[in-house]
C-alpha cells in the first residue's frame, strides 16, 4: 500500500511515477483519492466538533434543571442525529479511500524499463554457454515419458489438467533439487523454515495478493483459510504487527512449502508437461531490510539465486522486468530465465522482487533504533525464488539429455540423488 501522506502531499509525483504503467485509470484513482482525502478531513473535523459539543452538553444536562434541561436534551438529540449522519458519511468516505489504496500499485524504481510485455524486458547479464546439440533435442514432456519418471495422463484422470505424478528417479530428483537449494540458503546465513500451506485472508492482503489476484488463489470453503501460492506470504506474515530493532536488520529467511495456483489468468500454450502446473514445491527467500539498504539486499538475493543455477551448470540470463510485465506489489523485479532447448528459448525459473514498504505498510511491520525508542518507519520487504521443483527439472532434463535419451545428473545434485544419470526405460 502506498503512503497516504505521500499521495496527499505530492500527488503529481505519484502520478508521474504511476504514468509509467500506462494505465490512465491509476491517475484518475490518485485524483479521486486526493478529493476523498479532503472530504474525509472536513467531515472528520465536523465529527470531532460534534463529539466535543455532545460531551460538553452532557455535563451541562447533569447540572441543569427545568426548562433549561429540557432545551439541552432537545439540543442533544439534534447533535446526536447529526453526529450519526456525519459518522456514517465519514465511514463511507473512508471505505472509498481504502478501496483506492488497496488497488494502487507500488511506485516503480527508476531502473524499471518501459514496455508492454515480456518481449520488452531488459537483459542485464547472461551466464553459461548454450549447448550446441549434434542431434535434435527432445522436449521435457517426451523425456519424462521416455525415462518413465512421470505420469501426466493418469494425473489428469485423478486430479485434472496441470497436475502430474512423479515416479522413481523423478521423485528422487525432485527431492535432490530441494535439498541442494536448502543447503545453499543455509550456507548463505538464512534461517530455514517449513511453512504452513494455508494462511488467513489478511496475510494475502498484506502481501498484495488480494484484493487483486483473487482468481489465482485456492480458498477453503467456509473457512478464513487459503492455500498459499508461495511461502513469501507466510514468511512475511510471521512478523505482522511487530517492530524490529534497527541493529537486527536485515532479517534473512528461506521457506519451503508446497505452492498452489489456479493459473486462472494463464494461457493454454504451456499446458503440455509440467511447465505450468497447479501445484509444485519451492524454496523461497525472504528479507526484512532497512529502507536505506533494500536495493543492496536485492542484489544479495539475486546473487544467491544465481549461485543455485550456476551450481547446476544451467545457462541462464537475468532480466529486468518491464513496466507492462511487472505486478503491482514490486518496485522492481529481476527474473532468472534458464535456457530450455526443448522450447529453444529462455524461460523464467526464478523471480527476485523488492517490494519496498508496500507490504510492510499493510502488515504493520516497522523498525526502531533501540528498545524504548520511537518507531522510525516501515521496513522494506524483498523476496526471491531459490528454486522450484518443476521448471528447473525441465531445464535439467533438456540441457543434460544425451542422444539416446539418457539424462545426466548435474554434479552438484549427485550426492543427493545417489546416481549420476537416468536411462530410458522404453
Cell numbers standing for residue 371: 528498545
Is residue 51 part of the annotated active site? The answer reads no
Q: What is the pLDDT of residue 260?
A: 97
Catalytic residue among 97, 162, 190, 276: 276
Is residue 54 part of the annotated active site? The answer reads no
Q: Which long-range contacts (CB under 8 A, 24 or more apart) does 130-134 make?
A: 130/315, 130/339, 131/315, 131/341, 131/399, 133/341, 134/403
Residue 374 β-bridge partners: none
The helix or strand, by DSSP H or E, that contains position 422, with its residue range, turns out to be strand 421-422
For residue 130, which phi and psi values (nearest 5 degrees)? -70, 125
Segment 359-381 shows an average pLDDT of 96
Q: What is the pLDDT of residue 63?
A: 78
Q: Note the pLDDT tens digit of each residue in 121-153.
A: 999 999 999 999 999 999 999 999 999 999 999
Whole-number Å distance between alpha carbons of 94 and 86: 12
Catalytic residue among 252, 261, 332, 362: 261
Cell numbers standing for residue 376: 522510525
Q: What is the pLDDT of residue 268?
A: 62
Is residue 391 part of the annotated active site? The answer reads yes
Residue 256 β-bridge partners: 194, 283
Q: In the predicted model, is pLDDT for residue 387 greater than 80?
A: yes
Query: Sign (positive/negative) of CA torsion 105, 117, 350, 112?
Result: negative
The helix or strand, by DSSP H or E, that contains position 85, with its residue range, turns out to be helix 66-101
DSSP 277-309: -SEEEEEEEEEEE-GGGHHHHHHHHHHHHHHHH
Q: Set out the domains of the chain in order of their start, with CATH numbers.
A: 4-101 (1.10.287.40), 118-422 (3.30.930.10)
- Residues with Cβ < 8 Å from 83, sequence gap 6 or more? 47, 50, 51, 54
Shortest CA distance to 229 belongs to which of 251, 250, 255, 191?
Answer: 255
Shortest CA distance to 253 belongs to which of 191, 299, 198, 176?
Answer: 191
Yes or no: say if 163 and 367 are a contact pair by the CB < 8 Å rule.
no
Q: Note the pLDDT tens digit of each residue in 231-277.
A: 999 999 999 999 999 999 999 999 999 999 998 766 667 778 999 99
Segment 315-324 shows an average pLDDT of 97
Shortest CA distance to 202 belongs to which of 363, 364, 366, 381?
Answer: 363
For residue 54, which phi and psi values (nearest 5 degrees)? -65, -45
Q: What is the pLDDT of residue 426?
A: 65
Shortest CA distance to 23 belongs to which of 114, 111, 110, 121?
Answer: 114
Q: In the predicted model, is pLDDT for residue 26 greater than 80?
A: yes
Q: For a pLDDT cut of 70, what percent of the chain falls above it?
A: 98
Q: What is the pLDDT of residue 234?
A: 98
Catalytic residue among 231, 257, 294, 351: 351
- Residues with Cβ < 8 Å from 154, sequence gap 6 or more? 165
Q: Kindly list the distances between the CA atom of residue 126 and the CA atoms of 177, 316, 326, 350, in Å, as whole numbers in the listed order.
A: 22, 6, 21, 14
Mean pLDDT of the chain: 95
Q: Note the pLDDT tens digit of each residue in 210-234.
A: 999 999 999 999 999 999 999 999 9
Q: What is the pLDDT of residue 267?
A: 62
Catalytic residue among 348, 368, 421, 423: 348
Yes or no: say if 317 and 348 are a contact pair by the CB < 8 Å rule.
no
pTM of full prediction above 0.85: yes
Yes or no: say if 143 and 397 are a contact pair by the CB < 8 Å rule.
yes
Yes or no: say if 359 and 381 are a contact pair by the CB < 8 Å rule.
yes
For residue 191, which phi and psi values (nearest 5 degrees)? -75, 130
Q: What is the pLDDT of residue 173?
A: 98
Q: In the predicted model, is pLDDT for residue 104 greater than 80?
A: yes
Region label for 371, one of left (φ > 0), alpha (ψ between -120 and 50) or beta (otherwise): beta
Catalytic residue among 361, 384, 391, 398: 391
Q: Note the pLDDT tens digit of each residue in 297-311.
A: 999 999 999 999 999
Q: What is the pLDDT of residue 203?
A: 98
Amino acid at each position: 500500500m502506498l503512503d497516504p501522506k505521500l499521495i496527499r502531499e505530492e500527488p503529481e509525483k505519484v502520478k508521474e511515477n504511476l504514468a509509467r504503467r500506462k494505465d490512465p485509470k491509476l491517475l484518475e484513482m490518485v485524483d479521486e483519492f486526493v478529493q476523498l482525502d479532503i472530504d474525509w478531513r472536513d467531515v472528520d473535523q465536523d465529527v470531532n466538533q460534534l463529539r466535543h459539543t455532545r460531551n460538553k452538553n452532557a455535563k451541562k444536562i447533569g447540572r441543569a434543571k427545568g426548562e433549561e434541561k429540557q432545551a439541552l436534551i432537545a439540543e442533544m438529540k439534534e447533535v446526536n442525529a447529526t453526529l450519526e449522519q456525519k459518522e456514517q458519511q465519514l465511514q463511507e468516505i473512508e471505505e472509498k479511500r481504502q478501496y483506492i489504496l488497496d488497488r494502487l500499485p507500488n511506485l516503480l524504481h527508476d531502473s524499471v524499463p518501459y514496455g508492454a510485455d515480456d518481449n520488452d524486458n531488459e537483459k542485464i547479464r547472461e551466464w553459461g554457454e548454450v549447448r550446441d546439440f549434434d542431434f535434435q533435442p527432445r522436449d521435457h514432456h517426451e523425456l519424462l515419458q521416455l525415462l518413465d519418471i512421470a505420469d501426466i495422463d493418469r494425473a489428469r484422470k485423478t486430479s485434472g489438467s496441470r497436475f502430474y505424478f512423479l515416479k522413481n528417479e523423478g521423485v528422487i530428483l525432485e527431492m535432490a533439487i530441494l535439498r541442494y537449494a536448502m543447503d545453499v540458503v543455509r550456507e548463505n546465513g538464512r534461517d530455514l523454515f517449513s511453512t504452513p500451506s494455508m494462511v488467513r485472508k489478511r496475510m494475502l492482503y498484506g502481501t498484495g495478493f488480494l484484493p487483486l489476484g483473487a482468481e489465482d488463489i485456492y480458498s477453503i470453503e467456509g473457512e478464513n483459510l487459503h492455500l498459499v501460492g508461495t511461502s513469501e506470504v507466510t514468511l512475511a506474515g510471521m512478523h505482522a504487527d511487530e517492530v524490529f530493532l534497527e541493529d537486527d536488520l536485515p532479517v534473512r529467511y528461506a521457506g519451503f512449502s508446497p505452492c498452489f495456483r489456479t493459473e486462472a489468468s494463464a494461457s493454454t500454450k504451456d499446458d503440455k508437461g509440467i511447465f505450468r502446473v497447479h501445484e509444485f514445491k519451492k524454496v523461497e527467500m525472504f528479507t526484512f531490510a532497512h529502507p536505506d539498504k533494500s536495493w543492496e539486499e536485492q542484489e544479495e538475493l539475486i546473487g544467491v539465486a544465481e549461485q543455485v543455477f550456476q551450481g547446476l551448470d544451467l545457462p541462464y540470463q537475468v532480466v529486468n522486468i518491464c513496466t507492462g510485465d511487472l505486478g503491482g506489489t514490486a518496485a522492481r523485479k529481476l527474473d532468472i530465465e534458464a535456457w530450455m532447448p526443448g522450447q529453444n528459448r529462455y524461460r523464467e525459473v526464478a523471480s527476485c522482487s523488492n517490494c519496498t514498504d508496500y507490504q510492510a505498510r499493510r502488515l504493520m511491520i516497522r523498525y526502531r533504533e533501540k528498545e524504548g525508542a520511537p518507531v522510525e518507519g516501515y521496513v522494506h520487504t524483498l523476496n526471491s525464488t531459490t528454486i522450484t521443483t518443476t521448471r528447473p527439472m525441465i531445464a535439467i532434463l533438456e540441457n543434460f539429455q544425451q542422444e539416446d535419451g539418457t539424462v545426466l545428473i548435474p554434479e552438484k545434485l549427485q550426492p543427493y540423488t545417489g546416481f549420476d544419470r537416468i536411462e530410458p526405460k522404453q
